[in-house]
Amino acid sequence: MMAERLAVPKTFKLYIGGKFPRTKSGRTIRVAHRDERIIAHVGRASRDDLAAAVAAARGAQGAWANATAYLRGQIMYRMAEMLDGKHEEFTSLLASTVPGGIRRARKEVGAAVDRLVCFAGWTDKFSHVLAGCNPVAGPYDNVTVPEAVGVTAVIAPDEEPLLALVSLIAPPLCVGNTIVALGSGAHPLATCVFGEVCATSDVPPGVVNLLTGMRSELIPHIAHHRDIDAIHAANLPKSQRQVLRAGAAENIKRVTVHKLAADAWYDDNACHNPWLIEPFVEMKTTWRPVGA
């Protein structure tokens, strides 16, 4: 009789500065399968972990924004390639905890891949669409160009945990922002494995940082963190939106909170649009004399 081989399950960890650390708090979230078996314990990120992630994002921001748009595009396309390569793994992870089964999960992973491809294409096009050359009444070349805001915090909802996470990360990322993302607390596994996608896609360390944890616990810290420049979130209850906006006022963070039904994440027209990018750029106008 052949002895059955015992599987070697993955330890799910955070992704900060290109590494996979455990949470400094030592706390975990229990992840239950739809059949109620406990299948994992993922890190429950603390304020400390958030601070480390923001520091990593800040450190990586200048170089990411200064990379050519073409290079950022190729790296984001590579993320799409790697995510597609892990299609099966993501599908079964999502199906294990999210209602709707394998078919729904497969559709979600496919849409997440396509979303990355779309924003890979925006890297070298958003300035075509958002920039302008201003016909001022004088002998000046006057141009307005969009630049990245800086470090963007992403707060993903529990619905469509992978697709929503990717959809919130991609717009600020493609213009040169670096990201600190808090994934779904109810379905955290895909967030953890998305770190592997980033780690194998030539995404420079610190450009994308991924936390798993409790929204209610971390939102006040995100709101008040002085080194976060913008926030991209979806489907937050009113109380959390208020906390975010009040904290954000302290250093004038740019806050965008969408309200989207589960179906809406699959709507390409709504989710592929350059006005999703625009909240994460600053417009810089330069005057240069002509003649004389």
- List residues near other proteins by CB under 8 A: 69-70, 73-74, 77, 114, 117-118, 120-125, 128-129, 139, 141, 268, 272-274, 288-292
Task: Supply the minimum distance, in Å, between the C-beta of residue 163 and other proteins.
Answer: 15
**CB of 22 or CB of 70, closer to other proteins:** 70
**CB of 97 or CB of 127, closer to other proteins:** 127
**CB of 204 or CB of 274, closer to other proteins:** 274
Task: Supply the minimum distance, in Å, between the C-beta of residue 118 and other proteins.
Answer: 6
Task: Supply the minimum distance, in Å, between the C-beta of residue 291 and other proteins.
Answer: 4
Write the CB contacts of 217 (distance below 8 Å, at least 6 apart in sequence): 46
Q: Where are the beta strands (DSSP E) in 118-213?
A: 132-133, 140-148, 151-155, 178-182, 208-211
Other CB atoms within a 10 A radius of the CB of residue 219 amount to: 22
Task: Supply the minimum distance, in Å, between the C-beta of residue 193 and other proteins.
Answer: 23
**CB of 98 or CB of 175, closer to other proteins:** 175
**CB of 47 or CB of 125, closer to other proteins:** 125
Question: What pairs with residue 30 in β-bridges?
Answer: 41
Nearest to 112 by CA among 134, 89, 135: 89
Task: Supply the minimum distance, in Å, between the C-beta of residue 178 and other proteins.
Answer: 22
Write the CB contacts of 258 (distance below 8 Å, at least 6 apart in sequence): 233, 234, 235
Distances (CA, A) of 81 to 33, 77, 86, 168, 224: 28, 6, 9, 19, 36
**CB of 75 or CB of 211, closer to other proteins:** 75
What residue type is assigned to position 209 of the chain? Answer: N
Dihedral, CA of residue 79, residue 83, residue 84 and residue 85, to nearest 10: 100
Task: Supply the minimum distance, in Å, between the C-beta of residue 127 and other proteins.
Answer: 9
